[in-house]
């Protein structure tokens, strides 16, 4: 007889107090008319959802349009990046105060595509986290390892380094106010996904690092999202893990039906 499948550990009272966050990162996708159609569909699809938060992160060009459509809605709005200075001679950049003015509540920081394609470092990520917090935005700090790093056994070392450098100088309250997104680089846009057990292992490690950096309050209160080919057919199993508090969704957030299904995950 085959052994019974291993059940995930029950969520602790602290875990149950963390409101799940389902975030859609649209990346460089969507004209303003396309953004209107997408966000209107998402608004209708999640209108009756309770006990969780839903967030969308359109490209900069659609932020104001989407913000107007979300006015009075519980759906949160995020930017996909920001500059660490509030203003200055930084051609092509956008600052935290500008994003706040548009209605953003969150900012994605340190996504692997920013690190790999645009040269972002742990140090620049740290400065962006500090700026977001200073101007009332919730940072969504992304961390994750490449396939080569995972295969060479460096996953936890990479995650530890990115977390400690990204949160350097932040106190317990700031760490608690930050959202962490674990995105294994090898699973982003590839169709591959970490198993719920693999994701949980890293999420539990992240929580231990948070405890070391900010104490029990930061450990218990900080939300940790999983990202990397999240879809409607794997979200339920991921969300049953005790240290997974939501998802940062890429491609599946560009279709109303698939993103609404993710937001409606079954615990």
Q: Indicate if 203 belongs to the active site.
A: no
Q: Indicate if 123 belongs to the active site.
A: no
**One of 83, 106, 111, 203 is an active-site residue; which one?**
111
Sequence-ordered strand ranges (E) for the chain: 21-25, 53-57, 76-79, 106-109, 138-143, 179-182, 224-227, 246-249
How far from 191 is each of 60, 183, 194, 227, CA to CA, in Å?
A: 26, 13, 10, 12
Instruction: List the end-to-end C-alpha distance of the chain, in Å, as a whole number.
Output: 28
Dump the DSSP string for 22-68: EEEE--S---HHHHHHHHHHHHHHTTT--SSEEEEE--GGGHHHHHH
Query: What are the structure tokens assigned to 228, written together?
Result: 């990397």
CB of 37 closer than 8 Å to CB of 9? no
Catalytically active residues, by annotation: 111, 183
């Amino acid at each position: 007889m085959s052994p019974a499948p291993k059940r995930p550990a029950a969520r602790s009272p602290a875990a149950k107090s963390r409101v799940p966050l389902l975030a859609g990162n649209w990346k460089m996708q969507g004209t303003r008319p396309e953004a209107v159609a997408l966000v209107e569909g998402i608004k209708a699809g999640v209108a009756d959802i309770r006990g969780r938060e839903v967030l969308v992160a359109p490209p900069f060009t659609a932020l104001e349009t989407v913000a107007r459509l979300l006015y009075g809605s519980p759906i949160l709005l995020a930017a996909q990046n920001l500059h660490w200075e509030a203003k200055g001679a930084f051609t092509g950049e956008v600052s935290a105060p500008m994003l706040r003015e548009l209605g953003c509540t969150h900012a994605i920081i340190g996504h692997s595509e920013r690190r790999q394609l645009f040269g972002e470092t742990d140090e620049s990520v740290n400065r962006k986290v500090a700026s977001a917090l200073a101007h009332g935005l919730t940072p969504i700090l992304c961390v994750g390892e490449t396939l080569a790093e995972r295969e060479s056994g460096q996953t936890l070392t990479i995650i530890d380094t990115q977390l400690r450098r990204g949160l350097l100088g932040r106190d317990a309250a700031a760490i608690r106010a930050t959202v962490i997104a674990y995105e294994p680089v090898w699973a982003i846009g590839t169709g591959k996904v970490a198993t719920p057990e693999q994701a949980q292992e890293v999420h539990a490690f992240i929580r231990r690092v948070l405890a070391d950096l900010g104490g029990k309050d930061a450990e218990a209160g900080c939300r940790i999202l999983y990202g990397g080919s999240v879809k409607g057919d794997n979200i339920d199993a991921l969300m049953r893990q005790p240290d997974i508090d939501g998802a940062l969704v890429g491609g599946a957030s560009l279709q109303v039906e698939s993103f609404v299904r993710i937001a409606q995950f079954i615990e």
